Amino acid sequence: MQNSEQHHSNCLVCGSPKLKPLQGFKAAHLVKCGKCGFVFSHQIPTIKELEKYYDGYGRNDYLSPITIKRYNELLDVFEPERKNNKIIDVGCGIGYFLEEAIKRNWQAYGTEFTDEAMRINNEKGINMQKGVLNPKNYQAGEFDVITSFEVIEHINNPQEEITNFNKILRKGGLLYITTPNFNSLLRHYLKSEYNIITYPEHLSYYTPATLHRLLKTHGFKRVWIKTTGISFTRFKRSTKRSDEKLISKTSTDEKLRQSFETNQGMNFAKDAANTMLTLMGAGDTIKALYRKV
């Protein structure tokens, strides 16, 4: 799917050659597939570009108690699927989610790229593989659950990635993916100023329809797919109104989350808003739960 000029010549999701430059997004090299509507960077970053961008790529180590609560709510969903008792988080960061899984007696596996992440995760008792997911390192159908939080937008080989997921997940097992939503209200309002649009950090931009097509084509059946949230912190950063950290104890988003958790009326309003955002397909984040058929 690559040519000598280091550009993709076919859609990363459906393989169509009908690609058109996306007006207003030249800096990120975005094209849109004329067949399935998938948006992605047709330019292929070099190893040098990626190393330069990710050199010193920071990790924000703040972990909100609310995030821990959300992790455990997700693990509640996974609990009935426990047969092999194995879960893998692809691109697991420093293992916050898998720590919660271990507390619930899952055998936890993960993948990451840096030596530092490997060291931290190994110390937490997580079975780690360095680099990209390699199905040869696992038995076919070994895992009950695969998770991938905010990872798929960073890669430009999604068909290979989802094929590998299928190989290591048992029949009937669950796949949970989150990724930014290109159809979000913020993206439509901010256009190319939306700070999700960053090359070479983000290379693939999904909507519920394009993510569903990718997963369905590779042997997964939808359980549910949602688009939730509007990030006021990201809006402020994108519009240069603030340089507050996206994930911190004092961010606008975190303060709002705390209010929602402690005020029943506000929490009800949040749930209603997320239901509407899902119906519109317009929330900031796609959350997708699929089952291997």
The Cα 108–Cα 159 span in angstroms is 25
Cα torsion 42, 46, 50, 52: sign = negative
Q: What is the mean pLDDT of each run of 10 residues along the chain (293 residues)?
A: 72 98 97 98 91 68 94 98 98 96 98 92 97 96 98 97 98 98 98 96 98 98 98 97 93 96 95 97 98 98
Distances (CA, A) of 267 to 181, 186, 280, 281, 282: 23, 21, 20, 20, 19
Asked if residue 77 lies in contact with residue 100, where contact means CB atoms within 8 angstroms, the answer is no
Q: Which of 236, 222, 243 is nearest to 287 (CA)?
A: 222
261: helix, coil or strand?
helix
Residue with tokens 């055998």: 107
Could you confirm whether domain 65-292 is CATH 3.40.50.1970?
no
What is the DSSP-derived secondary structure letter of residue 165? H
Asked if residue 19 lies in contact with residue 11, where contact means CB atoms within 8 angstroms, the answer is yes
Q: Model's pTM, two decimal places? A: 0.95
Q: In the chain, what are the domain boundaries?
A: 65-292
Q: Quick one: residue 6, left, alpha or beta (phi over 0 = left, psi -120 to 50 = alpha)?
A: left
- What does the pLDDT read at residue 269? 96
Q: What is the pLDDT of residues 94-149, one digit of tens each?
A: 999 999 999 999 999 999 988 889 999 999 999 999 999 999 999 999 999 999 99
Q: Which of 281, 113, 266 is nearest to 182 (CA)?
A: 281
Q: Which residues are CB-contacts of 86 (< 8 A; sequence separation ≥ 6)?
A: 106, 107, 109, 142, 143, 144, 145
* Peptide bond before residue 65 is cis, with ω within 30 degrees of 0: no
Tokens of 97: 């989610």
- What does the pLDDT read at residue 4? 46
Q: Which residues are CB-contacts of 258 (< 8 A; sequence separation ≥ 6)?
A: 66
- What does the pLDDT read at residue 51? 78
Asked if residue 158 lies in contact with residue 135, where contact means CB atoms within 8 angstroms, the answer is no
According to the 3-state scheme, what is the secondary structure of 105-136? Answer: CCEEEEEECCHHHHHHHHHCCCEEEECCCCHH
- What does the pLDDT read at residue 61? 74
Residue with tokens 């688009």: 227
End-to-end, the C-alpha distance of the chain in Å comes to: 28
Q: What is the pLDDT of residues 226-235, one digit of tens each?
A: 999 999 999 9
Q: Please name the helix (run of DSSP H) or strand (run of DSSP E) that holds residue 181, with its range, or none.
A: none
Beta-bridge partner residues of 227: 286
Tokens of 33: 């597939």
